[in-house]
Amino acid sequence: MQIIGLMGKKKVARWKKILIVLCLFCGVIFISFGLVSAYFYNKYDLDINKLTSLNNGIKVYSASMTETTLYNTNRSIVDIDNLPNYVIKAFVDTEDKRFFKHKGYDIKRIAKAFMVNLAMKSKSQGASTISQQLVKNALLTNEKTLNRKIKEIVLSIKMEKKFSKKEILEMYLNTIYFGANAYGIENASQAYFNKSAKDLTLNEVCCLAGIIKSPSYYSPTKSMDNAVKRRNVVAKALLSSKDISNEEYNEIINSPIKLSATNFEHSYEKEAIYEACQLLNITERELINKKYELVTFKNDETQNMVIVANNDTIGSSEKQQNYDLDGLSIVLNNDGKVEAFYANSMYNLHNLVRQPASTLKPLVVYLPCIIDNILTPSTKILDEPIDFNGYSPKNADNKFYGYISARDALKNSLNVPAVKLLDCVGLKKAGEILCQLGINLDKADYNLSTALGSLKKGIKLTDLVSAYSTIANLGQYNGFNFVDKILDENGKVIYQYQPYSQTVLSKEDCFLLTDMLKDCTNSGTAKRLAELNLPIASKTGTAFNGTDNTDIYNIAYTPNHTVLTWIGSIKTNKLPSELKSSNEPTQINKDILKSLYQGKAVADFIKPEGVEKMPFDAIEYDENNIIVQPSSALERFKKYDYFKLSNPPKENFNVGSNFCVELDKYGAKISFNAVKSKAYEVIKEVNSNRTLFEKISEKSGKIELVDNDVFSFEEVKYTLKTDGEEKSFTLRPKDFLVNLLNNEIILGKKKWYV
C-alpha cells in the first residue's frame, strides 16, 4: 500500500510539472501573439479618406485630350436605407452569414476554410468577411501574401471599431466590383438592368449578389448559363436562412435573367481600360485605386460617326429589340491604331470569338494560292459537283457555274472553288499564312471546311480586322492598339506606345488579293459600297449553323483604314432570315466610310514594282480556259489583268501546235491547231518551187487539209506560216507508194524498188 501511494504521488508530481510547462508555453504564445498583434495593429493605419472617397475613377481621354471626351468610372453612391431589405439579406447570406456577429474577421470561418483547403490540397475555399473584402477592394492590392492578409485582418478590425455594421455594408455595396466596368451596386444596376438599385427585383438582386464571387465568370454578359447557376446558389442561401419563402425561391430559379439595353457610347473607353490592365499586368480595381489616366488613339469624330451609323441601321430599330441583336464596329487605322470601337451589346466583345464564315476565304484560300503561284486573279477554276471523301460542298444558291475566274469566284463568294483551291495549296501552307497574319488555327480546323470559314472555336474579331489591315498595308503587320500612353496620378508617363511594324507578306501578293477584293465592292456581294466611288476592297460573310444564320459581316478597307462590322445574337445564336451580310453590316460600313472620307481625296492602292498589268490570249482563255501569252498583236484578241513579274502568262505553245503531215493512199493529210486571232498559210514546195496551198483565218480548233496531188513527185515540203514563224514537214510520196505495194498488194512476191 505504501509503495502504491508513493507511485501515485510521483505521477501527480509529474503531471504538475507538465501542466506548469504547458501553462508557461501557452503564456509565452499568448504574450507573443499579443505582442505581434499589437505590433501589426500599430503598424497599419486605416486610411478613412480612401475608404470613403468617391473620387476613384479612371480618366480616359481621346487622342485630342479634350475634356469633353472624358470617361470617368467614379462610383454612383446609394443610401443603404433606400435599398430593398432583400438586398442586404442576399449579400450577407451569400458572402458572410456571421457578418453581424464577428468583429471584422471570422475565426470559425478561417478554421473551416483551413481544414477544407488542407483536405483538398488547394486554396479554393476563402474565408474573407464582408469587412475584409471592403478593406481589400478599397485599400489593398490583390497580391496573395501572408503580409497582405494580416494587414487585411488588422484593418478590418480597426474599421469595425470605427464604423457601424450598417455603415460598413453601405460602403461595401458602393465599392464592390460587379464586372462590366461597374463599381458599386448603383452602377451595376444601371449597367445590367438600366434602373436604379432601389428598384431592383429580388431576381435581379440575386443575380448581382452572385456576380461578385468572380465577375469574369459569373457576369451574365460573359456567360448567361454561369450567371443563372450562381443566381440560384444565392436564392438557395436566402431560402436556407429563411429570408425568402419557397414560393419566392421557385419563382426565382424558374425565371430568366433579363438584361436591359443601356448606353453603349463608352465602348471604346472600356476596351482601353482592358488593354491598359493587360499592358501593366494589373486588375481594373488596382488601376482605379492608383488613379491612373489613359490617353488613347480614339478619334472623337470617327467614334461619333460609328455610333450614328450603327444606331441608324440596327441600334434603335425594331430589329435590335425583337431579335436580341448584338453589333460590333471597329475602325482601325492601317498603322495599327484603333480610331473607333463601338459595341452595341450587353456583352464584353473585346475577346469575342465567332465563326468568320466567308470573311476567312481571302486569307486562308486565295492568298496562299497567290503566294504559291497556283493562281492569278484571272485563273479559271471549274465550279462543279465534287466529293472529298464524303465532304461535298455546295454554293449558297445550290448552282454550279462551270469554269469561272478566281476574281468572279471570290467576288460572288462561291464555295466549291474555294474548297478546290484549299485542297490544291494544302492546309499546312494555309495555316502558316494565317499564323503570319496573327490567326492560329485549332488542330481540328485542318480540314477542307476551313475554306468556308467553318472553325471549331472560331476566331477573335480583333484578330480578323488586324489580318485584313495587314493586307491593306501591303504586308506590314502593325497590330491592334487602343492606348497611346498611361499616366500616374502625378502626371508621370509610366507607359508609352511604341510603334511596331513587321513585314509578314510580300507587297505583290497583297496587292493582287486587294485588287480581287475591289471587285467584291464594284460588282460583288459588297456592291452597296460602290456608290461611294472610293478605292475600297471588301468582303462579306454569313455564318450558318445548319438551320439559321448566326453571324453576318462586312469588312472593308482603303489604303488608310480597315473597317469591320459584325452583327449576331450571342443570346440566341440565331438571326432572322431577312438580315443579310450584303445589307445591314455593309450599309453600316458604307455610312462610316462615307462620313470618314467626306470631302477628302483618297489615293488608290499603290501598285508595287513587282506587279504589272499584262495581256493574255483571249481566245485560249475563253475557249480552252488557259492563260497564255497573246497569239495576235490585235487588241481584240487580248485580255488584260495584273500579274506578278515572277508569274506572268505562260508562253503560248498551243498556237499552230501539233502541225503534222501524214501520207495515206489518198494523199497528204495536213493538220494543225489554230486560233481565231491568227491567219495561217500552208505553202507547198516541189523542186524549190513554192506555191500557196491553203490560207486559213478566223478559225479555231483543229484544221485538217488533204493534198491529193503528191504521188507524181519524189519529194514534197509543206510549210505552215503564221506571224512570221514557220514550221515545215518534208515527205517522199514515192517511198510511201513503194511500201504500200510491197506490203499490201504483192506480199510474198517480187519486191519493187525505186
Class of the CATH domain delimited by 75-262: mainly alpha
Q: How many residues does the chain have?
A: 754
- Of 316, 289, 329, which Cα lies nearest the Cα of 591? 329
Tens digits of per-residue pLDDT, 667-682? 999 998 887 777 889 9
CATH of 357-452, one of 2.40.10.220, 3.40.50.11540, 3.10.50.40, 3.40.710.10: 3.40.710.10
pLDDT at 512 exceeding the cut of 80: yes
Could you tell me which residue, 305 or 652, shows the higher pLDDT?
305
Whole-number percent of the chain with pLDDT over 70: 85
Q: CA-CA distance, 91 to 77, in Å (whole number)?
A: 17
Counting Cα atoms < 13 Å in the Cβ hemisphere of 631 gives 25
For the CA atoms of 413, 414, 415, 418, the dihedral, rounded to the nearest 10 degrees, stands at: -80
Q: CA-CA distance, 145 to 154, in Å (whole number)?
A: 14
Q: CA-CA distance, 279 to 732, in Å (whole number)?
A: 87
Alpha helices, DSSP H only, in 2-81? 2-43, 48-52
Q: CA-CA distance, 350 to 501, in Å (whole number)?
A: 22
Q: CA-CA distance, 346 to 339, in Å (whole number)?
A: 22
What per-residue confidence (pLDDT) applies to 465? 96
Q: Which residues contact 82 (CB under 8 A, 6 or more apart)?
A: 198
Query: Which strand (E) or helix (H) includes residue 168?
Result: helix 165-173
What is the average per-residue pLDDT within 35-51? 62
Whole-number percent of the chain with pLDDT over 90: 52
Count the neighbouring beta carbons within 10 Å of the beta carbon of residue 584.
Answer: 23
pLDDT at 364 exceeding the cut of 50: yes
Alpha helices, DSSP H only, in 346-393? 361, 367-371
357 φ/ψ sector (left φ>0, alpha ψ -120 to 50, else beta): left
Long-range contact set of residues 273-278: C-beta below 8 Å, sequence gap at least 24: 273/58, 273/60, 273/73, 273/181, 274/350, 275/481, 275/482, 275/483, 276/483, 276/486, 276/495
Q: Which residues contact 335 (CB under 8 A, 6 or more apart)?
A: 473, 478, 499, 501
Residues 152/40, Cβ–Cβ less than 8 Å = no
Q: CA-CA distance, 130 to 135, in Å (whole number)?
A: 9
SS (H, E, C) 462-499: HHHHHHHHHHHCCCEECCCECEEEEECCCCCEEEECCC
Check for a shared fold between 75-262 and 660-745.
Answer: no
Q: Is the pTM of this model over 0.95?
A: no
- Phi, psi dihedral angles at 37 (to 5 degrees): -60, -45
Q: CA-CA distance, 517 to 538, in Å (whole number)?
A: 5
pLDDT at 178 exceeding the cut of 50: yes
What per-residue confidence (pLDDT) applies to 750? 45
CATH of 660-745, one of 1.10.10, 3.30.70, 2.60.40, 3.30.9: 2.60.40
Which residue carries 440575386 as its cell?
A: 206
Counting Cα atoms < 13 Å in the Cβ hemisphere of 731 gives 24
Which residue carries 498488194 as its cell?
A: 745
What per-residue confidence (pLDDT) applies to 113? 53
What per-residue confidence (pLDDT) applies to 124? 46
pLDDT at 141 exceeding the cut of 80: no
What per-residue confidence (pLDDT) applies to 702? 85
Query: Which strand (E) or helix (H) includes residue 241?
Result: none
Range of weakest confidence among 378-392, 444-458, 515-529, 662-676: 662-676
Range of weakest confidence among 326-340, 462-476, 678-692: 678-692
49 CA to centre of own chain: 44
Q: CA-CA distance, 361 to 366, in Å (whole number)?
A: 7
Q: What is the mean pLDDT of the chain?
A: 85
Q: Which residues contact 477 (CB under 8 A, 6 or more apart)?
A: 436, 437, 438, 466, 470, 501, 502, 503, 504
Q: CA-CA distance, 527 to 539, in Å (whole number)?
A: 10
pLDDT at 752 exceeding the cut of 70: no
> Going by CATH, does the domain composed of 264-352+458-608 fall within 2.130.10.10?
no
Could you tell me the residue ranges of all domains in the chain?
1-43, 75-262, 264-352+458-608, 357-452, 612-644, 660-745
| Beta strand extents in 592-715 (DSSP E only) | 611-617, 638-644, 660-664, 667-674, 680-686, 689-696, 701-707
pLDDT at 49 exceeding the cut of 50: yes
Tens digits of per-residue pLDDT, 406-438? 999 999 999 999 999 999 999 999 999 999 999
CA R_g for the chain: 40
Could you tell me which residue, 442 or 739, shows the higher pLDDT?
442
